[in-house]
């Protein structure tokens, strides 16, 4: 009699539960071993689990974490599917699926082939991308229907191969809808991942029942011509700011070059920046060609004098003295045409701040004479580090005196 009772009892399921020690199971179909679930059976759902009942090919009741006694009251959908108008007393059969709802992190994705995107600057561009994403299951019926199917034990490795192409497809669609320029895609990975996440997430949830909690672009490869354009764009930005940078550095050096006390520092800084701006304007003006010099030199009839030599006749000898050439002296390296020297001097007319060498060239005297006047106090100049700078107004005052 006891043996018969055990046989009958083993034909029915009275406890349904599933424990999983692995870290890669997404869904698991509980094995009923051709047994039936009896009235009042216990259903145990642990944290990070969902249980989905499926009967007659239809999704029935869904259970979150907790312990349940299966009666007509807590399985209303199943009761409707199986036609229990007045409740059930006899055992029944249905499929029970456990789903793992924990966060699965660090899943890799990437484009096996280049994806096409349209860009306003470069037209149609092919690019490759790869990165990682984190996800969890949030819609059990949709995940079972679209991803896992009726597999007994659906694991992460099966999912990764299948999902990689799906993520790439959704990524491509999201990139097209977001209208992001190629230059931004190739240079701002972190921001791009965060920007695309709100676009990718609804599509993945609707199609596969998943929530993407993190979407990271680790690298985007673009064609060589696009890489060159990115490099040129960065260079142009640097050139655009170069003028301000040079003026700042020059002003800073001039402001710190004096020997006055700390109380004079603000005034020195202000004067330094003003002098730097004047020097920059003077250098820009010196780049413009001096009108009429070329014609005068070619005709050989110029009457300007530089170091006692007519600028339009023969040649003038110039000796190199460091960075500042002083006209009117012997030359060990060759000769320069009078027109070339005159052009150099004409370029100094626009400068408001001069070096001793430039002042010497403008006055047609040796640089030693200029330095001697500075040392004697006759010519006012300011020493910046180891170099001297002469304001044009100070030079004019020296000439008038």
Q: Are 311 and 283 in contact (CB under 8 A)?
A: no
User: Could you tell me the end-to-end alpha-carbon distance of the chain, in angstroms, rounded to an integer?
Assistant: 137
Q: With a cut of 50, which residues of the chain have pLDDT below it?
A: 1-8, 260, 262, 264, 289-338, 341
Q: Rg (Cα) of the chain, in Å, rounded?
A: 43
pLDDT for res 15:
92
In angstroms, the CA 357 to CA 324 distance is 5
Render pLDDT for 315-359 as a digit per residue (tens, 0 to 9). Answer: 333 344 444 444 444 443 444 444 554 555 566 667 788 899 888
pLDDT for res 221:
84
Q: Are 277 and 285 in contact (CB under 8 A)?
A: no
Report CA-CA distances (Å) from 272 to 286, 351, 385, 396.
21, 15, 13, 20
Render pLDDT for 231-265 as a digit per residue (tens, 0 to 9). Answer: 776 666 655 555 555 555 555 565 555 554 545 45
Q: Is the dihedral of CA 347, 352, 353, 355 positive or negative?
A: positive
The pTM score is 0.53
Q: Are 19 and 46 in contact (CB under 8 A)?
A: yes
pLDDT for res 273:
55
Question: Long-range CB contacts (< 8 A, 24+ apart) of 243-246?
Answer: 243/280, 246/276, 246/280
- Produce one character per residue of 343-362: b if its CB has 16 or more CB atoms within 10 Å, e if not: bbbbbbebbbbbbbbbbbbb
Q: Are 195 and 62 in contact (CB under 8 A)?
A: no
| Environment class of 216 (CB within 10 Å of its CB; exposed 0-12, middle 13-18, buried 19+) | middle
Length of the chain: 401
pLDDT for res 206:
92
pLDDT for res 307:
40
Q: Are 221 and 127 in contact (CB under 8 A)?
A: yes
pLDDT for res 309:
41
SS3 category, 51: strand
Report CA-CA distances (Å) from 238 to 182, 195, 212, 233, 241.
21, 27, 39, 9, 5
Task: Give the contacts of 243 (CB within 8 A, at least 6 positions apart).
Answer: 280
Which one, of 326, 305, 396, lies nearest residue 368 by Cα? 326
């Amino acid at each position: 009699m006891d043996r018969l009772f055990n046989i009958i009892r083993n034909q029915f399921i009275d406890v349904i539960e599933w424990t999983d020690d692995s870290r890669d199971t997404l869904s698991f179909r509980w094995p009923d071993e051709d047994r039936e679930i009896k009235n009042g059976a216990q259903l145990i759902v642990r944290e990070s689990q969902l249980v989905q009942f499926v009967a007659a090919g239809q999704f029935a009741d869904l259970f979150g974490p907790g312990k349940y006694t299966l009666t007509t009251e807590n399985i209303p959908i199943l009761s409707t599917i199986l036609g229990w108008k007045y409740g059930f007393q006899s055992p029944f059969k249905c499929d029970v699926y456990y789903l793992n709802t924990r966060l699965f992190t660090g899943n890799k994705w990437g484009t096996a082939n280049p994806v096409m995107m349209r860009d306003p600057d470069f037209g149609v561009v092919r690019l490759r991308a790869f990165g990682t994403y984190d996800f969890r299951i949030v819609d059990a019926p949709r995940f079972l229907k679209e991803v896992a199917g009726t597999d007994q034990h659906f694991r992460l490795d099966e999912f990764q191969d299948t999902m990689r192409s799906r993520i790439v497809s959704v990524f491509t669609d999201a990139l097209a809808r977001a209208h992001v320029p190629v230059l931004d895609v190739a240079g701002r990975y972190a921001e791009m991942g965060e920007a695309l996440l709100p676009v990718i997430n609804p599509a993945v949830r609707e199609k596969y029942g998943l929530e993407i909690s993190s979407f990271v672009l680790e690298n985007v490869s673009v064609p060589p011509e696009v890489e060159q354009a990115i490099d040129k764009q960065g260079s142009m930005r640097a050139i655009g700011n170069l003028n301000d940078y040079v003026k700042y550095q020059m002003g800073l050096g001039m402001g710190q070059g004096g020997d006055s006390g700390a109380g004079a520092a603000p005034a020195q800084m202000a004067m330094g920046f003003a002098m730097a701006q004047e020097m920059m304007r003077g250098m820009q003006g010196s780049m413009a060609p001096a009108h009429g010099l070329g014609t005068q030199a070619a005709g050989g009839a110029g009457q300007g004098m530089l170091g006692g030599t007519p600028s339009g006749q023969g040649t003038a000898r110039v000796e190199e003295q460091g960075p500042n050439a002083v006209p009117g002296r012997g030359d060990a390296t060759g000769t320069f045409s009078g027109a070339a020297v005159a052009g150099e001097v004409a370029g100094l007319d626009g400068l408001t701040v001069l070096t001793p060498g430039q002042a010497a060239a403008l006055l047609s005297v040796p640089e030693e004479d200029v330095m001697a006047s500075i040392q004697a106090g006759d010519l006012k100049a300011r020493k910046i580090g180891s170099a001297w700078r002469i304001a044009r107004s100070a030079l004019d005052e020296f000439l008038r005196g």
